[in-house]
Copies of this chain bind each other. A is one copy, B any other.
Amino acid sequence: MIDLRFPTALQIVLGIQIAEEDGVRCTSQKLADSLGVNASFVRKLLVPLSRDGIVAASQGKGGGVRLARKPETITLRDIYLTVTDEKKLWVARSDVPCQCVASANIVQFFERLAGEAEGLVLQMLANRTVADSVSEIRKLEMARLSGYVVSRTARNG
């Protein structure tokens, strides 16, 4: 199984913020529909997001999900770490016999390498907030709309 937790969680959080800006109440069912997944899966991802203070859910009729903090203060790194839960980007073999001199050192070497890779990725994610991302998505929307107009004009002209 391919791990879809990060992309899904990201879509959830961004969707919550977009709904907020559009003045629409957001429920796990609506999120699930927009993602094409089960509402239970959405709620499963909401557990760690809620625990870490990224989203806040209110129960009962008229309830729903909203961001627990300002979107400017939530980075994609927060979401990633919350949802993937200790899972490393790469993991070294754990059961190498280490009979020859090299084996043990190769393992250590790889762990350093994996740590460096993960650090790079996390830093990249830390530089992007939910607010940034949503505004970037809005820009994509604009570009898409104008792209449609252009191509239609081109086709008609």
Contacts and interface: CB of A to CB of B under 8 A. Distances in A.
A153 to B, nearest CB: 21
A57 interface: no
A88 to B, nearest CB: 9
Given A7-B90, A97-B36, A120-B121, A113 B76 contact: yes
Interface in A101-147: 101-110, 113-114, 116-117, 120-121, 124-125, 128, 133, 136-137, 140-141, 144
Contacts of A102: 14-15, 18, 34, 137, 141
A137 to B, nearest CB: 5
Q: Give this chain's copy count.
A: 2
A60 to B, nearest CB: 25
Interface string A40-64: 0000000000000000000000000
The interface centre, meaning the residue of A18, A109, A116, A144 with most chain B CB atoms within 10 A of its CB, is A109
B97 A34 contact: yes
A87 to B, nearest CB: 9
20 contacts: A2-B91, A4-B91, A4-B93, A11-B96, A11-B103, A11-B106, A11-B107, A14-B106, A15-B102, A18-B102, A34-B97, A34-B103, A35-B96, A35-B103, A37-B93, A102-B137, A102-B141, A104-B144, A105-B144, A106-B137
